[in-house]
Amino acid sequence: MAKILVTGAAGFIGSHVSERLLGRGDEVVGLDNFNDYYSVALKEARATRLAKHACFEMVRLDLSDRERMAALFAAQRFDKVIHLAAQAGVRYSLTNPHAYVDSNLVGFVNILEGCRHNGVEHLTYASSSSVYGANTTMPFSIHDNVDHPLSLYAATKKANELMAHTYSHLYRLPTTGLRFFTVYGPWGRPDMALFLFTKAILEGRPIDVFNHGKMQRDFTYIDDIAEGVVRVLDRPAAPDPA
């Protein structure tokens, strides 16, 4: 049994990943700041489900709080870390840029430092398909250039990949980033397209369509994401000589 920190545990992906880890017997410490980017009640409901497990503990903490984050890592001595917490949303970054800097950049440094100084075996973290930005070649590949992000959110996710790579190189910290494509399923986020479309249909309202209906998007079911995260967690990245 491993002791695992899951950040964003009251979030959509984080709650499902936590359930999967608890189901196989791991001890999970969840971290979340329960912000109001979308329904706090939904996040509380997810946390209540997780609290039914004897091996689960929820910590209410903001990633950007350097001192409390350092204290958490020092006290808990995690074996592994799954970092899923972030300020999400592309449009929101246009009007609230500092939220992305605080959570996605300052918060990520605090995660990296906590892992570095406390012997964490593997850091698995969420990147995003948004890093592909202006790329037009389909399907996307990990070998594609990702130097043209189209939003601050995407830029912070690209920065996370570079920061993790640097810590892996300097401190031999095994890190693995996962570029999630739009995730859907039970307990999902109400601001995502699938739920917005469904709600409009149920209420007899038209569905907003952009770019003359020519847009395409890849969707991934939550169970596949959760399984993938756990499988990756169990296989720490090997050192990259480059």
Task: Give the global pTM.
Answer: 0.89
Residue 241 domain flag:
no
Is 9 exposed, middle or buried (CB count within 10 Å of its CB: 0-12, 13-18, 19+)? buried
Residue 145 domain flag:
yes
Residue 10 domain flag:
yes
Q: Which domain holds residue 139?
A: 3-233
pLDDT at 197: 80
Residue 174 has pLDDT above 60, yes or no: yes
Whether 125 sits among the annotated catalytic residues: the reply is no
Residue 139 domain flag:
yes
CATH number at residue 79: 3.40.50.720
pLDDT at 203: 87
- Tally of domains within the chain: 1
Alpha helices in 52-106 (DSSP H): 66-76, 92-95, 97-100
Interval 146-151 mean pLDDT: 74
Q: What is the pLDDT of residues 38-56, one digit of tens each?
A: 899 999 999 999 999 999 9
pLDDT at 210: 74
Residue 242 domain flag:
no
Residue 239 domain flag:
no
pLDDT at 94: 86
- Residues with Cβ within 8 Å of 102's Cβ and at least 6 positions away in sequence, in order, are 62, 63, 64, 87
Residue 116 domain flag:
yes
Which of 153, 171, 184, 221 is an active site residue?
153
Residue 167 domain flag:
yes
Interval 183-210 mean pLDDT: 82
